[in-house]
Structure 1
Amino acid sequence: MSALLSLAPTTLSSDYQIRFANLHDLEQILAIYNAEILNGTANWNDQAVSFVDYRQRFLTLQEQQFPMIVVEDLKLKKIAGYAYYASFRNISGYRQTIEHSVFIDQNYARKGMGKALMQQLVHLAKQQQMHIMVAAIDSENMGSIVLHEQLGFVQTGYMPQVGQKKGTWRDLVWMQLQLSN
C-alpha cells in the first residue's frame, strides 16, 4: 500500500509517527478495537472480535487497495490509534464513496491523534480519487461530531434508535465530506 500512496506531513510531536499498518501491528490494533467494543459506544458490536477475523478484515482492506494507518508512540513502541476507510456500500454506483473508522487507545485520547489520523485519511482518499467520505457516529459522541465539523464534514442525516449497545437504543448521526468536485 505505501508504494502506491504517500502520507502527508503531520503536526504531531516527534514522539509519534503516522505510518501504514502492517500485520505485526494487528494485535495492538485489535486490543484498541476490542476495548472500544467492550467499554465504549463508538462501535456497536456486542462481542470482541477474534484475531483471525480482524486479520481477515485487514487483508481484505489491502486486497481492495484501502489503507489502514496507525499512529505509533515511538518511545514506547506502542500503537496509540489507527484508522482506515473502506467501501461505503458494496454496489458499483458507490465506488467513489468511502466510510471511515478511527479508534484511539484511551491512554492517548484528546491529544490530537484522531485529528491527525483523519487528516491523513482525507489526504489518502484524495490520492485515490474518492469523491465522498462518510462518517457514521453515535449521536452522543460529541467529541467526534465536533472533530468532523472542524475538518469540514457536514451532517447529512440523523437516524434515531437504529442500533443497540448494552441493551440501550442508540441514535446515529451521518456526516460526510466532499473530497472532489
Structure 2
Amino acid sequence: MANFLGEFECRLDSKARIALPAALRKQIPVEAEGRFVINRGFEQHLLLYPLNEWQRVTTEINRLNLFVKKNREFVRYFHRGATELELDSSGRLLLPRRLLDYASIHDSVILLAYAHRIECWDATLYESLLGNEPADFARLAEEIMGGLESPDRDKERFPDFHLPPAPPNSRH
C-alpha cells in the first residue's frame, strides 16, 4: 500500500495537464505502472489514486450488497466521474475537464498527498479550507486520536506494570 507524503503546487497547462513533481513521482508504487484513477472527492476536490490502490478500494466497495438502495447510491456517487489516467513520458497527467470544473480548478493546483491518495485542490479553495483551522487544534487531535490507545501500546509504554489479579468472590 502506498503511503504518500507531501504538499505540492502545480500548474495546469493549456491542455489541462499537470506535471507531477519528481518528489511525488518517486513515491508512486511500481505496481501502479504509472497509471491512476481520478474521481470526485467528498469535498470540492479530486482524488487521485494509483491504479493498484484504486483496485484495492473498489474491491472493498464491491463487497457491498447492491440490493440495498443506499449502497447502490453510494457506489454510483463514488464512481461518478472516475477516469483512468496514465503518466506520459514527461511525467504529466491529462485531467478531465468535467472533473476540473467540479473542483473549480482552472490554473493552480495543490496536491495534498497522504495515506494512499493524492487530493487535487484549487489553490484558492485549499487555502480557504485550511485557513479555517480549528481554534483549538490540540483539542481536536485529542478527540480524534485520543481514543486510539490499545492494551498492546500500553504494554509497550509500561512493560513492568501489571494489574493485580481480581479477588475471588467470597461470601460470608
Q: Tell me which of the two structures has the higher relative contact order, counting C-alpha pairs closer than 8 angstroms and 6 or more residues apart.
A: 2
Per residue, is there more strand in 1 or in 2?
1
Rg: which structure is higher? 2
TM over 0.5, shorter chain: no
Q: Give the TM-score taking structure 2 as reference length.
A: 0.25
